[in-house]
Amino acid sequence: MTKAPTKPDTQLLHLVFGGELDDVKSVTFRDLAKLDVVGFYPNYAEAYQAWLAKARETLDNAQMRYFIVHLHRLLDPSDGKAG
């Protein structure tokens, strides 16, 4: 018996990116051209796993920081505009 396909969970788009900071007390990047865009993820759990892997890779560099951006909070599909 074949199982009917299930509807995927609601997509909540997240971006994981990082780079070297000028100062660990701020979020000013040393060189925007060298930002590392890790990727886009359909949910927080997957984004968190990607963030964690990159954070662990760069543990020896105190200036390097990775972030998770909740893109789904910036997009309002009801009016088609970024908000």
pLDDT in tens, 69-81: 999 888 866 655 5
Domain range summary for the chain, segments of one domain joined by + = 14-68
CB-side neighbour CA atoms (13 Å) of 1: 2
Distances in Å between the alpha carbon of 50 and those of 4, 37, 65? 31, 11, 13
Single pTM value for the model: 0.78
The percent of residues above 90 in pLDDT, for the chain, comes to 67
CATH node for 14-68: 3.30.70.2400
